[in-house]
Amino acid sequence: METSALEGVLAAVRDGLSGVLVLRGDAGIGKTVLLEWAAGQALDMQLAPVTGIQAEMGMGFAGLHQLLVPFLGGLDGLPGPQRQALGSAFGLVDGPPSDRFVVGLAALTLLTDAAAGRPVLCLVDDAQWLDQVSVEVLGFVARRLYADRMGMLFTVREGEGQAAALAGLPELMLGGLPEEVAGELLATSADARVDRRVSAQIVAGVAGNPLALVELAGELTPDELSGAVPLGWPLRFGGRPEELYLARVRALPAGTQTLLLVAAADPTGDPALVFKAAGQLGTGPEAGEAAGTDRLVSWQPRVRFRHPLIRSAAYYAAPAADRRRAHAALAAVSDPGADPDRRAWHLAEAAAEPDEQVAAELEQSAGRAQARGGLAAAAAFLERAATLTPEPGRR
């Protein structure tokens, strides 16, 4: 059923129309896998992927910029007001705060102009972690597509309210796998015989969640899977992938945990930046080659965690003091000229107590965000700046 729904979107785009679908479901239910499947079926289209990252939720237009970068060559072809609004939103030109409606029109025009030459498929993963203005603009674009040879696929984690701007768009709720299919996935992942009653118990324990089934298959022994040894209950790690990932991170050498922490704290995915920051903490790239690390993250061509839950586990497995040191290292290697706002945010996350200098840098970032029309980002910077302001009256 899920792939049929995605095929419907792709067929509409190929027929010269447009298609939009929001995939909702719990973590590990298969939303990202479905996006990857759709990308594999759309090799005749221009793919525009973007992934929401929690660390960038306070940076206005960050998600929209990530999505539109491949199409910015068409910026000069936009009507003047749209070109000015989008350029200002992305910090490409000086100007007054961008009107969000005009930014939405500019994004719509840029994408549909590109689709006139070759169909475009936007793949928006973890939309609940996009910055608020980006998800609002993308929702605006999605509602205005008709015969534009464009498709937009979103994934949203169930229970998260940040993607409310997508409400009303066509959506598909994903549930767990049926027992028979789930049992086949468990047996295939375990590469061993699984007793029917044991399989039914595991499938029920994880509510058919595919990620949980795959990960548990690698944790249970052949004797447990065959029923020769009673299956512990509740399931190991509670059948929750996030607890399993946390255990895997904590089992790694200290240097590898440090490298993973830095990677988790950095939203850019730039391996050179991550390795440089980790070097500030006495950890080299070789720490990323420790046994078991490849089950969690890949380093080239970009740093990519196998699942967002792994990023969270790598970050929160560390004590707060270590997280602050990781952010301080990232701030130290960030270019203050090219990326002042992200550097300021890292400095804020590294601060253990009020710091007027950091507060001042955050205030400057708020000014830049407001000038681009990113009011939510400006508010986030100002709120953090107030927290870090030492003088009570000024705070």
**373 pLDDT more than 70:** no
**161 pLDDT more than 70:** no
Q: Which pLDDT does position 6 carry in this prediction? A: 97
Q: What is the DSSP annotation of 179-215?
A: HHHHHHHHHHHHTS---HHHHHHHHHHTTT-HHHHHH
Q: Which pLDDT does position 234 carry in this prediction? A: 66
Q: What is the pTM of this model?
A: 0.74
Please name the residues in contact with 182: beta carbons below 8 A apart, sequence gap of 6 or more.
176, 199, 203, 208, 210, 213
Order of strands, edge to edge, in the sheet holding 18-25? 46-51, 120-125, 150-157, 18-25, 171-173
Confidence of residue 235 (pLDDT cuts 50, 70, 90): confident
């029920």: which residue's tokens? Answer: 204
Neighbours of 11 (CB within 10 A): 12
Tell me which of 289-293, 348-352, 355-359, 363-367 is least confident: 363-367
* pLDDT higher at 337 or 109: 109
Average pLDDT of the chain is: 90
Contact of 314 with 250, CB cutoff 8 Å: no
Domains in the chain: boundaries: 2-173, 179-239, 240-314, 334-395
Name which of 352, 346, 353 is nearest 381 in CA terms. 346
Contact of 58 with 377, CB cutoff 8 Å: yes
pLDDT, tens only, 1-21: 799 999 999 999 999 999 999
Please name the residues in contact with 145: beta carbons below 8 A apart, sequence gap of 6 or more.
18, 19, 20, 108, 112, 152
pLDDT > 90: percent of the chain: 59
Q: Which pLDDT does position 110 carry in this prediction? A: 96
For 274-284, give one letter per residue: b (16+ CB within 10 A) or e: bbbbbebbebe
* pLDDT higher at 339 or 124: 124
Q: Give CATH for domain 2-173.
A: 3.40.50.300
How far, in Å, CA of 30 to CA of 295, rounded?
18
Confidence of residue 380 (pLDDT cuts 50, 70, 90): confident
Give the pLDDT mean for 16-38. Answer: 94
Give the pLDDT mean for 97-111. Answer: 91
How far, in Å, CA of 384 to CA of 392, rounded?
14
Contact of 124 with 67, CB cutoff 8 Å: yes
Q: Which pLDDT does position 101 carry in this prediction? A: 92
* pLDDT higher at 261 or 267: 261
Token digits of residue 59? 């940076």
pLDDT, tens only, 172-223: 999 999 999 999 999 999 888 899 999 998 898 888 989 989 888 888 888 8
Token digits of residue 179? 């027992």
Contact of 176 with 182, CB cutoff 8 Å: yes
Confidence of residue 236 (pLDDT cuts 50, 70, 90): low
Q: Which pLDDT does position 384 carry in this prediction? A: 85
Token digits of residue 90? 């992305």
Give the pLDDT mean for 61-73. Answer: 92
Cite the DSSP H helix spans in the chain: 2-14, 31-41, 62-68, 80-89, 100-117, 132-143, 179-190, 196-205, 210-217, 222-226, 241-250, 254-265, 271-280, 308-316, 320-333, 340-350, 356-371, 375-387
